[in-house]
Structure 1
Amino acid sequence: MGSTETANLIYLVLLGVFIGGGMLMAFRGQLGAMLRQASAWALIFAALIVGYGLFTDNRTHLPRTAVFQSEGRVEIPRSRDGHYHVVLDINGAPIEFIVDTGATDVVLSREDALRAGIDPDNLMFSGMARTANGTVQTAPVRLRQVELGSLKDENIRAVVNGGEMRRSLLGMSYLNTFDRIEINDGRLVLERG
């Protein structure tokens, strides 16, 4: 659990203690009335959560990729955060990437490198990269196998980031394997001839 999740949990516990204490003070000596009120509010809260889940499209938070295998064409819809997310199999492990045309190479986080069978502790972090968060060390690697739907590539140049990274980046060392890259109508289109 990260620091944000811990802070949210502490906030919710304190809020619950505050509300519970207020109810105990308001209904002193009326335990039955307090339980009825608490039950009614719990049902209202549960109904709101269920309603939100039914009437919102929670799938937009997940990476969605439409792969047209017969045409060698991949369409990636823009996510709500404004980025293009895609899942590729790297050495047999599914890894979520953010497409980054400004990145020279495919950049793996340490966690994603481990999932792909690359042990960051055995790498030489001899490179440097300038990021929005400052300069980080990088270790060059070659990805044995990269799969996007039916499209399979081998020996793709990549680096493992020595710093903190939320998501791995799908950079130009992979994107250059396509003949055409186009952004149109909220979709990133990748095509091979």
Structure 2
Amino acid sequence: MTQTDIARLAFYVLLLVVIGGAMLFELSGKGGRALRQMLVWVVIFAGVALGADWYLDATAPRQQVMDQGTRIKIPAGRGGHFHLQATLNGTPIDFIVDTGATHIALSRRDAAAIGLDPDRLRFSGVAVTANGRVKTAPVTIERLAIGEVVDRDVPAVVIDSQLQDSLLGMSYLRRFTTISFQGDMLILER
């Protein structure tokens, strides 16, 4: 479960607690019948919205690795971004494919997940992002796998910011001979 999923769940739980608490107050005899019925429908709507949100995430199309890993098809996500999962040093990491990013940019959380200690890194570089300038620390990913394709000693940076998602930038995408779009599908070929 990602931090986005946790935040989304916390929001819905808080929403249900607030609405449910208000509904209990009203049902204790202090409110009118119409207000009680309206609150019941609000709680039902919030529950359906939560279920639909989880269902859409669970059933969202994922990348397809074909032709012994030489062709990767990535469908656009709900926000229009292309999300790809790669295995770094044996750990699955979710990326946003970002042709505007120069390097593979790891979040502090993902860096820690693959065995790097962000507190011990030397943040000597600078990256210009949509949110301004951020410090970066150069690192090397020992093993990066997407399906059957394995690359070793892949250069990357760790971003010293509140970056939630790691970015798969051009330094890695250039390893593919073809990057193309077919409708809402991104295709990477080696």
Residue 78 of structure 2 corresponds to residue 92 of structure 1? no
2:24 counterpart letter in structure 1: G
Q: Normalising by structure 2, what TM-score?
A: 0.80
Looking at structure 2, the residues matched to 152 and 53 of structure 1 have their Cα atoms a distance apart, in angstroms, of 37
Q: Normalising by structure 1, what TM-score?
A: 0.79
Q: How does 1:9-158 map to 2 (within 5 A)?
A: 9-25=13-29, 53=51, 58-59=56-57, 62=60, 64-70=62-68, 72-158=70-156
* 69-78 or 97-106, which deviates more: 69-78
2:115 is paired with a residue whose SS is: coil
Give the fraction of aligned pairs with identical amino acids, expressed as a percent.
39
Q: Deviations over 1:16-68 (max 9, x none)?
A: 222111111159xxxxxxxxxx9xx98xx7799579958x9524675611000
Partner of 1:162: 160
1:117 counterpart letter in structure 2: G
Q: Cα gap change, 1:10/1:166 in structure 2, threshold over 3 Å: closer, same or farther? A: same
Partner of 1:186: 184
Q: Is the 8 Å Cα contact of residues 63 and 96 (structure 1) preserved in structure 2?
A: no
Specify the structure having the higher radius of gyration (Cα). 1
Q: Cα gap change, 1:50/1:163 in structure 2, threshold over 3 Å: closer, same or farther? A: closer
Q: Cα gap change, 1:190/1:161 in structure 2, threshold over 3 Å: closer, same or farther? A: same
Q: How many residues align?
A: 180
Q: Which runs of 5+ in 2 are unaligned?
A: none
2:135 counterpart letter in structure 1: Q
Q: Which runs of 5+ in 1 are unaligned?
A: 28-37
Q: Is the 8 Å Cα contact of residues 97 and 169 (structure 1) preserved in structure 2?
A: yes
Q: Cα gap change, 1:167/1:108 in structure 2, threshold over 3 Å: closer, same or farther? A: same
RMSD of aligned alpha carbons: 3.4
1:103 is paired with a residue whose SS is: coil
1:178 is paired with a residue whose SS is: coil
